[in-house]
């Protein structure tokens, strides 16, 4: 499906794994996610997050600010 969509849009696929994005530093993951979007935009690529479930986990039970902020990338 992803290859089909990218082909229809005439875009190369840029794949980022959770391991490429997750950081042990506060704010690092958010910075890496924003960087991935910026890189895909500048290269006019179709951005795909492999293992996206690692980044999109349910945050309703989060207790720390950094746990919540991973989904609030601007």
Rounded Cα distance, 7 and 60, in Å: 37
Instruction: Give the DSSP letter of residue 49.
Output: E
72 pLDDT exceeds 60? no
**Mean pLDDT confidence for 21-41:** 90
Provide the 3-class DSSP secondary structure of residue 16: strand
In this structure, the chain runs to a length of: 74
State the pTM of this model.
0.68
d(CA 49, CA 2): 11
Confidence label for 59 from pLDDT (cuts 50, 70 and 90): low
Residues 73, 33 contacting (CB under 8 angstroms) = yes
Please tell me the predicted confidence (pLDDT) of residue 69.
58
């Amino acid at each position: 499906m992803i290859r089909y969509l990218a082909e229809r849009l005439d875009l190369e696929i840029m794949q980022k794994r959770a391991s490429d994005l997750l950081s042990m530093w506060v704010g690092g993951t958010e910075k890496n996610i924003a960087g991935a979007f910026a890189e895909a935009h500048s290269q006019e690529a179709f951005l795909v997050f492999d293992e996206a479930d690692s980044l999109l986990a349910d945050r309703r039970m989060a207790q720390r600010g950094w746990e919540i902020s991973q989904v609030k990338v601007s």
